């Protein structure tokens, strides 16, 4: 993590941080402090893929919450219709999607909340929760069949 300290308040009351000094505790950062999400010039960051971005030490991307999970979502590409519901609703940006194609789960940042499973509209669902320690191949082999509508 990058070492930072408060440098000064500018005339709008915004605090600046300067690299190379002692690390601030969370309770030492004053209101209006700016914690940069990226190092360097981030003006074109929206056009960069996650792995190309220069995340700063403040960015939650640099921390993992994988250990919070008891159950994990498993993705079944054979059932998915790429509707992007899971991508829109995931509170932790942990759905990996490129060019509107669902690719899988970012297990470093998924906390296992199950929201993606709830919003998946397919029959059977393309995302299901399994015990954290379940092997992905085993989970896929246990996928339920399509449910028929009751008449
Ligand atoms: S379980 Fe929650 S955090 Fe993980 S991918 Fe699904 S919606 Fe995102
Ligand atoms: S919500 Fe379900 S069907 Fe839609 S993209 Fe996500 S996994 Fe695929």
Per-residue pLDDT tens for 96-136? 998 899 999 999 999 999 999 999 999 999 999 999 999 99
In the numeric block, which tokens belong to residue 2?
Answer: 């990058």
- Do 56 and 79 lie in one domain? The reply is no
Give the pLDDT confidence score for residue 22 in this predicted structure: 60
- Do 109 and 83 lie in one domain? The reply is yes
- Do 37 and 106 lie in one domain? The reply is no
Identify whether 148 is part of a domain.
no
Give the pLDDT confidence score for residue 43 in this predicted structure: 92
- Do 54 and 71 lie in one domain? The reply is no
Identify whether 112 is part of a domain.
yes
- Do 99 and 50 lie in one domain? The reply is no
Whether the predicted pLDDT of 16 surpasses 70: no
Report the alpha-carbon distance of residue 129 to residue 76 in Å, rounded. 11
- Do 74 and 50 lie in one domain? The reply is no
- Do 17 and 47 lie in one domain? The reply is yes
CB 110 within 8 A of CB 69: yes
Q: Is residue 128 lining ligand 1, measured as CB closer than 6 Å? A: no
Identify whether 122 is part of a domain.
yes
CA-nearest residue for atom 8, ligand 1, is: 90
> What is the extent of the structural domain holding 136?
64-141
Whether the predicted pLDDT of 141 surpasses 50: yes
Q: Give residue ranges with CB within 6 A of ligand 2.
A: 80-86, 102, 119-120, 122, 126-127
In the numeric block, which tokens belong to residue 51?
Answer: 């792995």
Per-residue pLDDT reduced to its tens digit, 29-86: 788 888 888 999 999 998 998 888 999 877 888 888 899 999 999 999 999 999 999 9
CA-nearest residue for atom 8, ligand 2, is: 80
Among 69, 90, 103, 125, the mutation site with the greatest number of ligand 1 atoms within 8 A of its Cβ is: 90
Higher pLDDT, 52 or 88: 88
Identify whether 150 is part of a domain.
no
Q: Is 105 exposed, middle or buried (0-12, 13-18, 19+ CB in 10 A)?
A: buried
- Do 133 and 118 lie in one domain? The reply is yes
- Do 47 and 68 lie in one domain? The reply is no
Give the pLDDT confidence score for residue 147 in this predicted structure: 85
Q: How far is the CA of 8 from the centre of ligand 1 (A)?
A: 39
The domain tally of the chain equals 2
Q: How far is the CA of 118 from the centre of ligand 1 (A)?
A: 10
Q: Is residue 102 lining ligand 1, measured as CB closer than 6 Å? A: no
């Amino acid at each position: 993590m990058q070492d930072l300290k408060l440098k000064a308040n500018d005339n709008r009351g915004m605090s600046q941080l300067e690299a190379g000094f002692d690390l601030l505790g969370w309770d030492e950062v004053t209101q209006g402090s700016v914690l940069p999400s990226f190092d360097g010039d981030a003006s074109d960051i929206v056009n960069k893929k996650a792995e190309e971005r220069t995340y700063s030490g403040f960015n939650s991307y640099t921390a993992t919450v994988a250990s919070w999970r008891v159950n994990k979502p498993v993705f079944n590409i054979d059932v998915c219709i790429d509707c992007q519901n899971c991508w829109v609703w995931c509170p932790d940006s942990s759905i990996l999607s490129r060019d509107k194609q669902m690719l899988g789960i970012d297990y470093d940042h998924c906390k296992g909340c199950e929201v993606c499973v709830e919003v998946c509209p397919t029959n059977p669902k393309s995302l299901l929760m399994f015990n954290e320690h379940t092997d992905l191949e085993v989970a896929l082999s246990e996928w339920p069949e399509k449910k028929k509508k009751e008449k």
